[in-house]
Structure 1
Amino acid sequence: MPYGQFLGYEKGEDGIPKIVEKQAAVVRLIYKLFLEGKTPSGIAKHLTINKILTPGGKEVWQQSTVLSILKNEKYKGDAMLQKSFTVDFLTKKKKINEGEIQQYYVENSHPAIITPEVFDLVQYEIKKRKNAKGYKTGGGCFSGKIVCGECGSFYGSKVWHSTSKYRRVIWQCNSKFKNDEKCNTPPLYEDKVRAAFVEAFNSLLENKEEILEGYEVIIQVLTDTSKLDKESAKLQSELEIVTELLHKCVAKNAHSVLEQAEYEERYKALAERYEKIKNGLEGINEKRLVRSAKHESIAIFIKELEQREGLVTEFDEDLWNGTIEKVLVHSEEKIIFIFKDCMELEWNM
């Protein structure tokens, strides 16, 4: 492990990576901020402003550094060995492994800073954002939150009258002029979105107790994975049987004379069955992640709601990130706030 450029660990006396708690707290903060809705560039900005040093000891964080921390399996205690290899032992020149040599994945190779559940949730969220139409990573808290009600693309920030006293930040559909027909959804003034959110959230606070009472049953449903566990166990058993049949099929072909057309047909059928079962298991894991993501979102929302004593008087970026999943824009007057618990609130601007 390259400890000098790796946040959260140092070499222990036994040679096994040892957690550096002060740095580990930064890693956990990065994961927390991402799951609350901040973009990698927004997290980089937050860390830079708060004078937290990068893994290399620099003062300014880059989006790529944050993303590499979010994607690195070492933080959940696992290790992918031979990501790179030495191509010249005299010059010590290294190269990224692009399939030239075998890689090995080792689980629980060292103490974890992030739980596997949180790590998997982050990978799911990265994938979801990447596949979203018109998504662009930006430093502002509105990036990846405001969505065009016509084409489904995200809104991006623009600056009007940048050099005059009338300078204003507006948000506009990123695909407005890329579609066959121009979207009719309007641009939004940033200050109006802030004000509308404060009013909308305060309307929730007025029914706070009633809203919180309804979540107990929802959380029980989301955390009950017994049906998924049963499906997974069944498929896993089938996978082991098919794997054994594949091994026997190959071994028989290697040690006896078989009709190759017949062998290839049997092998192909087993391989297709193997892939089908494997895809089924991946589908179950995807459902688990969706449930976990939903549970995490509701937990964050409930926490924010419970902590609020009295009405909100001004826009709070942390509150926004902790409660808003997205905002659908339909017209200049009508937007819909969709909270992390999937509650929808139509609002007139």
Structure 2
Amino acid sequence: MKKITEIKSVRPRIRRKKLRVAAYCRVSTASDAQLESLETQKAYYENYISSRPDWKLADIYFDEGISGTKMYQRPALQRLLADCESRQIDMVVTKSLSRLSRNTMDCLEIVRKLQSLDIPIYFEKEALNTATMESELMLSVMSSVAEGESASTAQNINWSIQHRFKNGNYKLCSPPYGYSWNGDNLQIVPDKAAIVKEIFTKYLAGTKVISIIDDLNKRGVATPRHGPRWQRSTIAGILSNEKYTGDVIFQKTYTAVGYKRRCNHGERNQYLYKAHHEAIISHEEFKQAQSLKANHCQGKGIIKSSDKGQSRYAFSGKIICNECGSSFKRRIHKYATTSYVAWICGTHLKDKAACPMLFIRNDDLELAFITMLNKLIYSRKIILAPLSEKLKLISSDNTVKQIRDLETELMQITEKRQTLLRLKAEGYLDQIVFTQESNLLETRRKELTIELNSLENNGTKGATELNELKRLLYFTKHSKMLNAFNEALFTEYVHRIHVYSRQEIGFELKCGLILRERI
């Protein structure tokens, strides 16, 4: 019989080097109380790390007045990650998961990145060390709770702001150029107000914007945000700001999904507060300026839209990069004897490493559109007719039933949530089980809410797509093959263009179809 003897491992005594430990702190607002809290956190970590004989302080990284929902907008966090990659740090300590990130995906991304570098993170509040963590389950649950707390806080703040909008007691956080905030209202700053009056007077007298800019820069007049020079956008912002008439429109922007700011083009209610403060210019001057701006835009062929920016050309704002989601920008490529128009991904234009998508020539896009539309004219019965029948089969009664079912399930989730809270309060559930179940319910609630919103919009969307399809069918039935690009037809039937590669694009039609074309 074989005899096996286990030889015990002998670990040599190695004098361990001190761990280089970094601390990360963050406060979400720049108020005095929050900044004082930040100083307290910094002092605490200096003492905490110095008190450990096996640790030494690498650095303290702190973000002031920055939300924890967006990882890439926090310079100190990015610097911390860069220092970790350059092997200047052995361990990271932070107060809690919510300080590191209030976004579950960002939190997991940071943890995974540092784990790949063998750098653990210790979350004090949760007593969680990623070096000894068996799986990401607990981290995901706790991070989801932090994200839910952030969403709940945002909802409460939004409700408070909406309430103040309606009551007319919302206080402007950033006074426009020409005003200052006295604690209760806007008050005129005479020397800056004189510049505002001068801009309106010259513009209404027919002076070109570029001439106004050159004059202000030549005289050394300070810009609204203390930049080096006056810009067209600065003058345009002043000429379009209703606050100079003494009125205020609240909620001209709003926070969309993913905590992104959006211009309000009717998606949210707006609130007009007349005679909110002392005026710098009259309502009549402001109306004349808006009319003059509109005439200038019309003369240049610039069409205002709900999309970011303005559309001067048929493809403006309608070409979307499939790699990064950015819109394409128009550029003119010049060579020794020739030049041509091209469209380039906005992200690639700023940073080639951030998006690999290359430019596409304008004439290739026009040719692809002609080819696509000619195919529809030739094969309308094969391509468009079946879609028309499918849209007609959408049953509004079935949609109503689905909406009621979803609302019922949402009510059941609310009841289950209340039951969990009661069981936890009575001591029948521990924190871990409560958090896991709450997280599952919240995930399902979000899914149902998205589905419910989609169904509620489905009837309107379906009717709109059917009408667009009928118009397209009528056109393809009575039109001849195209020989040249028609800008009016493109605007009439195409919603946007998806760029998959330099050789393939997709035309998303207003009727809902996406047709791919090789270029």
Query: What range is the shorter-chain TM-score in?
Result: 0.3 to 0.5
TM-score by length of structure 1 reads: 0.47
The higher relative CO (CA closer than 8 Å, separation ≥ 6) is in 1
Larger Rg: 2
